[in-house]
């Protein structure tokens, strides 16, 4: 790869633009420190012409959210025959859509939280009484990332407000039964689980503020302080989820661990945050893998998948 021109794709048009810029810049710096020829590309509608003008040989996809993590850019790169990092078109699309991802998990016998899906056109007619389970519940848009639009609702007023908040976000509305537990997240690299980390947010859950706001008070415990048997089970569960969706490269799989030691899959992030403060690099560092080593390994996995 040292003789290739690398295009670092970052930014994009969605709520995760700023997060993606941080991911892309951190990765660019890491690769340049190893002698790679990297050009930062802030993705806009002119991306095809920019890729041609810059003579990009390999694309490092550091995009998050819609039009970047959901298979759109991956499809463009396949059509242009430019090898790229991470998951392919289908795996990216499935991972981004929480409803379809949960359908795949269920088909593979993997544990997920009970839920109901409400189409946007039916929101005005949907009420708490239509839920197949009692509050509290978690309301989330099915095709957004970084916990954008996610809220825990405990009463009818909060429920109505949450539905209004997600109306203009991407995808149908996914409403899940609230399960109290510990947030255990696993990095999976090239189909193998790297390690499990526990996230202890100062907020009610690991929301956008807890993830990205400086001084939010979130604590990260690596390795996750769980038993050996529980660690084995969650690593196996997350690796199976990664493979079930057909993911490539690195993913971060989020779970909830209940008091009885059961694990429930929440989602697979096919392009997790990759700043030095992000979870996957924290796990890698805990295993002795530097951020530069991790960036280089992901780059060396770039390929066409179609």
* 95-111+180-270 is a CATH 3.30.470.20 domain: yes
Q: Which residue of the set 11, 12, 16, 178 is catalytic? A: 16
Q: How far is Cα 14 from Cα 7, in angstroms, rounded to an integer? A: 20
Per-residue pLDDT, 216: 65
For 115-177, the fitting CATH number among 3.10.180.10, 3.40.630.30, 3.30.1490.20, 4.10.93.10 is 3.30.1490.20
Specify which residues 192 forms β-bridges with.
189
Q: For residues 224 and 200, is the Cβ–Cβ distance under 8 A?
A: no
Catalytic residue among 28, 87, 146, 207: 146
Contact in structure between 210 and 202 (CB atoms under 8 Å):
yes
Distance CA 89, CA 11 (A): 19
pLDDT of residue 201: 84
Looking at residue 146, its pLDDT comes to: 61
| Distance of alpha carbon 216 from the chain centroid | 20
220 annotated active-site:
no
144 is catalytic: no
Sign of the C-alpha dihedral, residues 75, 79, 85, 91? positive
Catalytic residue, candidates 212, 264, 270, 296: 212
Q: Helix, strand or coil for residue 257?
A: strand
Active site residue 161: no
From first to last of the 306 residues of the chain, give the pLDDT tens digit: 899 999 999 998 887 899 999 999 999 999 999 999 999 999 999 999 999 999 999 999 999 988 899 999 999 999 999 999 999 999 999 999 999 999 999 999 999 999 999 999 999 999 999 999 999 999 999 988 667 789 999 999 999 999 999 988 878 999 999 999 999 999 999 999 999 999 998 766 554 555 555 556 789 999 999 999 999 999 999 999 999 999 999 999 999 999 999 999 999 999 999 987 899 999 999 999 999 999 999 999 999 998
Predicted confidence at residue 218, as pLDDT, reads: 87
Dist CA 240 CA 110 (whole Å): 8
Check if 273 is active-site: yes
pLDDT at 205: 57
Assigned CATH topology for domain 5-86: Rossmann fold (3.40.50)
Q: Where in the chain are the domains?
A: 5-86, 95-111+180-270, 115-177
| Alpha-carbon distance values, 2 to 5, 32, 57, 294, 295 (Å) | 8, 10, 11, 16, 13
Map 191-238 to HEC letters.
Answer: CEEEEEEEEECCCCCCCHHHHHCCCCCCEEECCCCCCHHHHHHHHHHH
Residue 177 has a pLDDT of 97
What pLDDT score does 204 carry? 65
Verify whether residue 158 is a known catalytic residue: no
Per-residue model confidence (pLDDT) at position 206? 53
16 noted as active-site residue: yes
Could you confirm whether 252 is annotated as catalytic? Answer: yes
Give the residues across from 116 on adjacent strands. Answer: 175
214 is catalytic: no
Q: Which two tokens stand for residue 213?
A: 């706001």
């Amino acid at each position: 790869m040292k003789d290739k021109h690398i295009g670092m794709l970052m930014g994009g048009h969605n709520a995760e633009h700023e997060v993606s810029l941080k991911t892309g810049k951190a990765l660019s710096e890491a690769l340049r420190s190893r002698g790679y020829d990297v050009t930062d590309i802030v993705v806009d509608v002119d991306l095809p012409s920019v890729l041609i003008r810059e003579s990009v040989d390999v694309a490092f996809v550091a995009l998050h959210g819609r039009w970047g993590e959901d298979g759109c850019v991956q499809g463009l790169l396949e059509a242009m025959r430019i090898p790229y990092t991470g998951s392919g078109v289908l795996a990216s699309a499935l991972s981004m859509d929480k409803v379809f991802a949960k359908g795949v998990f269920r088909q593979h016998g993997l544990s997920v939280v009970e839920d109901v899906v409400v189409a946007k056109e039916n929101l005005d007619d949907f009420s708490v009484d239509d839920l197949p389970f009692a509050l509290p519940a978690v309301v989330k848009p099915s095709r957004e990332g970084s916990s954008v639009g996610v809220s825990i609702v405990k009463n009818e007023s909060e429920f109505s407000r949450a539905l209004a908040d997600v109306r203009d976000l991407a995808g149908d509305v996914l409403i899940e039964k609230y399960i109290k537990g510990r947030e255990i997240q696993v990095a999976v690299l090239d189909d193998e689980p790297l390690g499990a980390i526990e996230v202890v947010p100062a907020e009610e859950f690991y929301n956008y503020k807890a993830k990205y706001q400086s001084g939010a008070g979130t604590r990260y415990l690596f390795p996750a302080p769980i038993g050996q048997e529980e660690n084995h089970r969650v690593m196996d569960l997350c690796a199976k989820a990664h493979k079930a969706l057909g993911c490539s490269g690195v993913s971060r799989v989020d779970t909830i661990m209940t008091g009885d030691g059961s694990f429930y899959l929440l989602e697979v992030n096919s392009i997790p945050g990759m700043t030095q403060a992000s979870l996957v690099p924290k796990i890698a560092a805990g295993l002795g893998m530097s951020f530069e080593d991790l960036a280089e390994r992901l780059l060396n996995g770039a390929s066409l998948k179609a």
